[in-house]
Amino acid sequence: MAMIAVGSDHAGFLLKEDVKKFLQEKGFPVRDFGTFDQERVDYTDYGLVVAEAVAKGECEKGILFCGTGVGMSITANKVKGIRAVVCSEPCSAKFARAHNDTNILALGGRIVGTELAKMIVEVWLLTHFEGGRHAVRVEKITRFENGQQAAEDVPAQNRPA
Ligand code: RB5
């Protein structure tokens, strides 16, 4: 099975530990990029390192934990090739894979409990990208990210008046 990168700040540390154990029990290889205790750190440092490991292909997917998941998702989304989503329930997690092909999941240690987090993680990891019309949209995001498409390139008939 493909390698899953995990990372957290102090506010996400305990949930990271619980989810890491869950992943290992399910047989997923896990690479833990820290933090390794509850001492205060900046989520940005850990989010960036995990996102780069995923963007470079060293790990297939990443799961990030901070207080809300918001800071981690914003940070990860700054890295080229990353599509990160913050989820607090399994339905969004499912469609974030099926329709958006997200490669990073962010969870809030102050928002979701361990059992809910496990459900979110499991559905996110087991759901496949549906491709088709969704692939066309994801490719447009990538083109925009690479500077190959701007708002003025959107066909006039698709633009709001
Ligand atoms: C840390 O207090 C908190 O701001 C951080 O964990 C995260 O929630 C930021 O988005």
Confidence label for 89 from pLDDT (cuts 50, 70 and 90):
very high
**102 C-alpha to center of ligand 1: Å?**
21
pLDDT at 149: 85
Residue 108 pLDDT greater than 80, yes or no:
yes
6 φ, ψ (degrees, to nearest 5): -125, 150
The predicted model gives 135-161 an average pLDDT of 89
Work out the percent of the chain whose per-residue pLDDT is above 90: 91
Secondary structure in 3-state letters for 91-104: HHHHHHHHCCCCCE
Long-range contacts (CB closer than 8 Å, 24 or more residues apart) made by 84-89: 84/51, 87/120, 87/124, 88/112, 88/116, 88/120, 89/116, 89/120
Q: How confident is the model at residue 1 (pLDDT cuts 50, 70, 90)?
A: confident
Residue 22: its H or E element = helix 13-25
In whole angstroms, give the CA distance from residue 54 to residue 2.
11
Q: Give the span between the Cα atoms of 108 and 88, in whole angstroms.
A: 8
| pLDDT band of 44, cuts 50, 70, 90 | very high
Residue pair 66/9 in contact by the 8 Å Cβ criterion: yes
- Edge to edge, the sheet with strand 84-86 lists 30-32, 4-8, 61-66, 104-108, 84-86
Active-site residue, 99 included? yes
Nearest C-alpha to atom 7 of ligand 1 is from which residue?
Answer: 67
Q: Is 66 labeled as catalytic in the residue annotation?
A: yes
Cβ–ligand 1 contact at 84 (below 6 Å): no
Q: Is pLDDT at 161 greater than 80 in this prediction?
A: no
Whole-number average pLDDT of the chain: 96
Mean local confidence (pLDDT), 111-140: 98
Write down the pLDDT at residue 45: 98
Q: What is the pLDDT of residue 152?
A: 85
